[in-house]
Structures are given as structure tokens and as C-alpha cells.
Amino acid sequence: MSLDLNQPYTHKLEALNIKPSARRLLVSIEGQTTELFENDQLVRAFRVSTSKNPPSNTENSGGTPRGLHRIAQKIGHDAPLGSVFKGRVNLGQRFDELGEEEQATNLITSRILWLDGLEPGYNRGDGCDSFARYIYFHGTNHEDKIGQPASGGCIQLLNQEMVELFEIVEEGDQVFIA
């Protein structure tokens, strides 16, 4: 399905002297996939969409950042499937209730997993901070684009799969993007 990212993930942990989390998400930008592991066992694989721009850790690049992250916040518990979020606030509407013009944009829907970079100077800190760039896993109103680069830097999933992933992972779980 995707590239084997377990070895680069392990090397990154060793280089940073960070203990692995029991659950982890490995995101392949090239493969447009995310694999969920628990206790070193593959639990589930998801097709995703990463950035339409080239991968980048630089602020304002619109690129999906590479490297080791953690889930900093889970947002959207119990929101109805397809709920639209702006500024991490549920607007109380589903994307299919919005007008054509609003639906033309790439909306943040269903759930949010907000990422925090763990590599100072690479995806954490001035000019490259994934958390400050609002890099998330989230659902999308453009589900037909899942599996191809289409986002503004985030990692998008089908809405139902985003809800399923949200229910499994916890704040603090690690995410490695390569």
C-alpha cells in the first residue's frame, strides 16, 4: 500500500531520544496513505490527500510538513458527520447544507486532529511550526480527491474514516510524515 516508514520513524525517534508511542500514524506523502499502528501491529490503512503544493515545513508554503509530530488536540467530539469547522469551531452546519460557493472551497469537516511538531528548527519553532501553521488531520467536503494531493497542507480523509480514526487515537500519539 504505502512505503514502509517504520524504519525512518524509528531512526527519527533514536536521533531525537524520544520514546515511541503505543499508537502511531505513518503518513506517506508519495503514497497518499496513512497507516495506523498499535504496539507495532498495523491496525488500519487509510487513503489520504496531502498538500497540492510540494511538501514543506516552511510557514505560508501550503505544503504538508515532514517529520515527527504528535497529536496535540482532538477537536469535534460528537459533531455530526460532515460538520464544518472554522477556526476549530463547529459552525453547526454540515457541508452539504452550505451554498455552492462555500462548497467550492476545501472545508474542514467532521473531526480535527491538530498536530504539533517534535523537531526543533524543522517542524517546531519560528518559521516552521506545524502547530502554529494549523496542520491537521481532518475530513473534507471534496472526498472525490482523496488519494491525490489536494489539500492546503493538512492531511485529509473521507469523513467517515476521519471519525473512525478520531475514535481510535489519543492526544500524544505520534505521527511521522515522510
Mean pLDDT of 125-144: 98
Q: What is the reported pLDDT for 55?
A: 98
Q: Note whether 74 and 166 are within 8 A (CB).
A: yes
**How many domains does the chain fold into?**
1
Check whether 2 has a pLDDT greater than 80: no
CB atoms within 10 A of CB 98: 16
Three-state DSSP class for residue 104: helix
Cα distance between residue 123 and residue 57, in whole Å = 6
Q: Is residue 1 in some structural domain?
A: no
The H or E element spanning position 11 is helix 6-16
| Domain membership of residue 112 as a residue range | 6-177
Tell me the per-residue pLDDT of 15-72, one tens digit each, with 9 for 90 and over: 999 999 999 999 999 999 999 999 999 999 999 999 999 999 999 999 999 999 999 9
Check whether 3 has a pLDDT greater than 70: no
Which residues have C-beta within 8 Å of that of residue 11, sequence separation ≥ 6? none
Check whether 126 has a pLDDT greater than 60: yes
Check whether 7 has a pLDDT greater than 60: yes
Report the chain's mean pLDDT, rounded to a whole number.
96
Instruction: Report residue 162 as a C-alpha cell.
Output: 476521519
Q: Is residue 12 in some structural domain?
A: yes
Cα distance between residue 54 and residue 149, in whole Å = 9
Which CATH number goes with the domain that contains 156? 2.40.440.10
Tell me the per-residue pLDDT of 156-177, one tens digit each, with 9 for 90 and over: 999 999 999 999 999 999 999 9
Q: Is residue 51 in some structural domain?
A: yes
